[in-house]
Chain A
Amino acid sequence: MMIPACRLADLPRGEATRLDIDPPVSVFHTDEGELFAIDDTCTHQDASLADGWLEGCEVECPLHASKFDLRTGAVDAPPAKLPVRTHEVAVEDGMIYVRLSTDAPNLPPCVAARLAGGPA
């Protein structure tokens, strides 16, 4: 499924935008002009990676120190141990779309427990 994120013109380089789906997904526009979409929630604790420190193709969780590679979702250092999912990004007519991965997400324990409980 292709989900519209926002207009490319509305997402400056160095910025991220969060899609409030469950679990949330974020689109990053790097300083070099590339677009990437990953799961927005750090796999360690409930924190939004869209609020994090973007540098090159890596985003550092805004709370702690784990960095995720936007290209692969891989994590580099504790406290997070698991990667985030990556999603396909497409731009059509100036609009950014995300095609969601069908893999199971790696969510931190508190968020996973909330989702397992079903819709609130």
Chain B
Amino acid sequence: MRTVAVVGASLAGLSAARSLRKQGYDGRLVVVGDELHRPYDRPPLSKEFLAGTLGEADLALETDDEELGVEWLLGARATGLDRTERAVRLADGRALRADGIVIATGAAARGLPGSEGLAGVHTLRTLDDARALRDELAAGGRLVVIGGGFIGAEVASTAYALGLDVTVVEVASTPLAGPLGETMGAVVSGLHTDHGVRLLCGVGVKGLGGERKVDAVLLEDGRSLPADIVVVGVGARPCVEWLEGSGVALDNGVKCGADGRTSLAGVVAVGDCANWYDPRAGAHRRVEHWTGALERPAAAVATLLAGGAVEPGTPRPPYFWSDQYGVRIQFAGHAAGADSVTVEQGAVDDRDVLAVYRRAGQPVAVLGMNQPRLFTRWRKQLATA
């Protein structure tokens, strides 16, 4: 293998490049990124960066002395993958021939249809998004967050700390019920009301008010919430349009085996765009977690370099964290399918909790709020179960 192209220059792409070098690949290595920035860390964008306590230099993922021997093609968007030419086509007309290809194009924030071109309306996914939102939050005012998921909740928490008047609107009856289940979803989203942030659940958004600049969020029940700033946090979609017609099988992102292999030889996928087979769950899962983007490229790269002749290890259970209102929230495993949730330590009213999810008596997931030591023990137990 003489040239490997990594398409995507965020955490998963950087991890793939590092894994390639660590696993002995010494050929040409090109990383293609559609943003102009070198790889940066996204979790602080909704928290410390937005709050102004971390700057852009702090977000860099590469270390100062890191020598990966990478050719960076930044500001270059991939528009197609040609299986016969074995080439990645770029928006500027160039084609990048490669023997091995790592797909790491991530996911893009979903917007609110009809909000395009309306000032004061934001999504939060990229550094540029965060810069724009940070500047606007600094002016203060009334913020309405559409979507009570983790991004929405973190933005609400950060904006609350900055002194804004904050309302969160969630279409489901309980925020976070998808990842955490109804019971613990209610406990974690209770952090909003603990701090005087309004949480409106079970109501959809009909549209936005305002001419050139947003001035209200219009709800389906007829209410109108005055707003100076709106953040739309309603999830993300995998960036895989560029692969249509390439022969790479797509199904909620790039469909992959447990080792990251795609339907095309010499092509693997990692990160938020990849729908990996999870042997624990017996199903494909597209997991938009930072830790997955960090850890899984090692397996995908091993597959790529071995020509598909490696036995994939069992990945650790999915893990993610969130910081909201000064509370550290940690979760590992799969809540779906659990038939019980038990608080093992702490009290839900104190938002100091270690909760274990079980199915037929076996732990399948664990949630911690300000319980890092105990959480780590349970997470370890889940991994070896």
Tell me the A residues contacting B by CB distance below 8 Å: 47-48, 50-53, 62-65, 77-79, 81, 109-110
Q: How far is the CA of A64 from the CA of B47 in the complex (A)?
A: 15
* B379 neighbours in A (Cβ, 8 Å): 53
Which bracket fits the contact residues of B?
20 to 34
Q: Is B242 part of the contact surface with A, judged by Cβ < 8 Å?
A: no
Q: How far is the CA of A81 from the CA of B60 in the complex (A)?
A: 9
List 16 A–B pairs whose Cβ atoms lie within 8 Å, in order of A's numbering.
A48-B372, A48-B373, A51-B373, A51-B376, A53-B379, A63-B372, A64-B290, A65-B290, A65-B295, A77-B15, A78-B11, A78-B41, A78-B61, A81-B63, A109-B53, A110-B53
Interfacial residues of chain B within 68-125, with CB under 8 A of chain A in the complex: none
* A48 neighbours in B (Cβ, 8 Å): 372-373
Tell me the B residues contacting A by CB distance below 8 Å: 11, 15, 18, 41, 43, 53-54, 58, 60-61, 63-64, 290-291, 294-295, 321, 328, 330, 372-373, 375-376, 379-380
Give 3 nearest A-B pairs by CB, closest first: A51-B373, A62-B372, A51-B372
Of A52, A81, A109, which contacts B376 at CB under 8 A?
A52
Q: Are B376 and A53 in contact (CB under 8 A)?
A: yes
Q: How far is the CA of A87 from the CA of B18 in the complex (A)?
A: 29
Q: Are B294 and A78 in contact (CB under 8 A)?
A: yes
Q: How far is the CB of A106 from chain B (nearest CB, A)?
A: 12
Of A50, A63, A78, which contacts B321 at CB under 8 A?
A63
* A81 neighbours in B (Cβ, 8 Å): 60, 63-64
Nearest-neighbor residue (CB-CB) of A59 within chain B: B376
Q: How far is the CA of A65 from the CA of B315 in the complex (A)?
A: 14
Nearest-neighbor residue (CB-CB) of B44 within chain A: A79
Q: How far is the CA of A62 from the CA of B282 in the complex (A)?
A: 28
* B295 neighbours in A (Cβ, 8 Å): 65
Q: How far is the CB of A37 from chain B (nearest CB, A)?
A: 18
Q: How far is the CB of B318 from chain A (nearest CB, A)?
A: 12
Q: How far is the CA of A110 from the CA of B53 in the complex (A)?
A: 8
Of B53, B64, B372, which contacts A47 at CB under 8 A?
B372
Q: How far is the CA of A81 from the CA of B40 in the complex (A)?
A: 12
Task: Given A51-B372, A77-B15, A81-B64, output 14 extra A-B contacts at Cβ < 8 Å.
Answer: A48-B372, A53-B380, A62-B373, A62-B375, A63-B372, A64-B321, A65-B291, A77-B18, A78-B41, A78-B61, A79-B41, A109-B53, A109-B58, A110-B53
Q: How far is the CA of A110 from the CA of B51 in the complex (A)?
A: 13
